[in-house]
Amino acid sequence: MGLIQVNGIRVFAYHGCLAEEARIGGHYRVDVQAQGDFSAAETSDDLDRTVDYGRVTAIVKEQMAQRSALIEHAARRILDALKGEWPGPHQWRVCLVKERPPVNGDVEEAVYVVEG
């Protein structure tokens, strides 16, 4: 059993319930984990036998480019796209961080985590 982590994927996007968020955007960070049997990659040294973290990053950027009102919705889209790209028996975890959300108070980040 192995664990691949692609952490700190930084994206500027336009998610949020407020009209101003659609206009001015904000900073986001996404962490992705894939857990599963990667022994074929371990023994073959073949990129096609594992989860390509370059492609993981591209999928995150593609999905974050599509506006959502909620980070929960954006995170689910990322998870679904990853599972579509690698339909094997992996266990996925997506952590989406909205930095400095526009709320009444000094809030560093809002975080949503989805697994599947």
| pTM of the complete model beyond 0.85 | yes
Indicate the pLDDT class of residue 103, thresholds 50, 70 and 90: confident
**For 27-85, how does the pLDDT look when each residue is reduced to its tens digit (9 = 90+)?**
999 999 999 999 999 999 999 999 999 999 999 999 999 999 999 999 999 999 999 99
Domain ranges in the chain?
2-115
Round to whole Å and give the CA distance between 41 and 49: 5
105 conformational bin, left if phi > 0, alpha if psi -120 to 50, beta if neither? left
Tokens 């894939």 sit on residue: 34
- CA–CA gap between residue 78 and residue 57 (Å, rounded): 10
What pLDDT is recorded for position 33? 98
CATH 3.40.30.10 assigned to domain 2-115? The reply is no
Residue whose C-alpha is closest to residue 76's, from 92, 88, 89, 87: 92
3-state secondary structure 15-52: CCCCHHHHHHCEEEEEEEEEEECCHHHHHHCCHHHCCC
